[in-house]
Amino acid sequence: MRNHPARLIRKKRDGGELAGDEIRDLVAGVVDGTLGDAQLGAFLMAVCCNGMTPAETAELTLAMRDSGRVLRHPNVPRAKIDKHSTGGVGDKVSLLLAPLVAAAGVAVPMISGRGLGHTGGTIDKLAAIPGYRTDLSCDEFQQALEQCGYAMARANAELAPADGRMYATRDVTGTVESIPLITASILSKKLAEGIDGLVMDVKTGRAAFMADESDAVVLMESIVGVGRAAGIQVSALLTDMDHPLGRGLGNALEVAEVLRALEGDCPTDLREVTLALGAEMLLLAGVATDLDAARATLIGLWQDGVVRQVFQHNLQVQGGDPRIVDDPGLLGRAPHVVAVEAQRAGYVTDVDPLALGHAIVDLGGGRRQPQDAVDPHVGIVLAKTLGDAAHVGDALAFVHARTAAAAAGAAAAVAAAMPVGDERLRRNQLLKRRLA
């Protein structure tokens, strides 16, 4: 490092604004190790406490992007648009959205992450597909994009390597919640993909990373502003995560729901969020003139079966078993499936996504620590949703578990998360805000 780390840390600690060359120097130290662990933790804490100006956040984002390889896609003449979600319970949108938007003529390079805690990760869902490869090299990622219009892979050491060390340090230093650090972490990897535009799905509600709506709006504004400053088109939707998305919760169960959705059997909430994000992507790509036209295009492709074909082609390209499209049973099944039954008549008055997400982690379907293994087959399938009528003995949900004991424990948690009462409630507005 050209600058002494302690000087830069003190400057940010005392509320000063770092210059671009100082930020680039810090990020270089992150990558080559000249910025020690204690120094990195101190810097991140200073940012967490004092924030960053928009200019600083943009400089940090670009420095992190440039810490590794930045992809170009000379053989893909179409607009390249990605989507990123801040995560939740049952959020399998990416698996539907990528082939849907690719079918409309937009290239979708998508680098995704694994789940941690109660939030599921796209990479874990894809890992539930027999043979499917997400450990693609950058060259393999580009080839998949060229061949089928979209590619889905986990981050590797070539792309934005500074983020890997910074993210791990944030996790152990209590600095995860910093808006500038979240913004730079998300956008540095997305910009390294070689995209022209990005649509953000920022979730708010009990099971969202940003549970408070005002915090979620600040994150939306930060990502849109910094993304545009970095030279890409960005729009964002604020969506509800006060209840799960869809009915399948758990990796293979969510893939099975996606396969049914490809055939037209799609839960209303999953369909609406997918179409809304897809329409934004088409608008950014310039292949539709307005949101209504974009939505109509996507619905037509979905109904005609084109999306199903694109999904199956991607399976073939990335090593997945294409037979699952016709035979979802090939995904496998947990050995114990237990119904959670209503104990009284009335209406389902809550479907607590946070409680259900923790129940899935307890079943082995999620991680408490990054190194934890994940059982792809366990999870929960909702038979009822908020406001549905229930009679005594009706199934509220089905628990899929590895053991009978685990099934019994999860069933009790699901029953508590899905109370039945006299009042008939409706879900909050699904699409809360748009920033474009």
Which position among 80, 84, 154, 400 bears the catalytic label? Answer: 84
User: Which residue blocks in 286-385 are alpha helix, DSSP H?
Assistant: 291-304, 306-317, 353-363
- Establish whether 170 is a catalytic residue: yes
Which position among 94, 178, 185, 222 bears the catalytic label? Answer: 185
Collect all residues with Cβ–Cβ distance below 8 Å to 21 and sequence separation of at least 6.
none
CA distance 340 to 148: 41
Integer angstrom CA distances of residue 435 from 239, 312, 350: 12, 33, 29
Which position among 80, 189, 243, 358 bears the catalytic label? Answer: 189
- Establish whether 84 is a catalytic residue: yes
Which position among 82, 91, 163, 375 bears the catalytic label? Answer: 163
Paired strand residues for 236: 200, 435
- Establish whether 185 is a catalytic residue: yes
CA distance 202 to 180: 15
Paired strand residues for 238: 202, 433
In the block, tokens 């099944």 appear at 333
Determine the 3-state secondary structure of 339 from DSSP.
strand
**What tokens does 372 get?**
């934890």
- Establish whether 65 is a catalytic residue: no
Q: Across 241-296, where does the E strand assignment appear?
A: 248-249
**What tokens does 112 get?**
């995704």
CA distance 100 to 142: 19
> What are the catalytic residues?
84, 163, 170, 185, 189
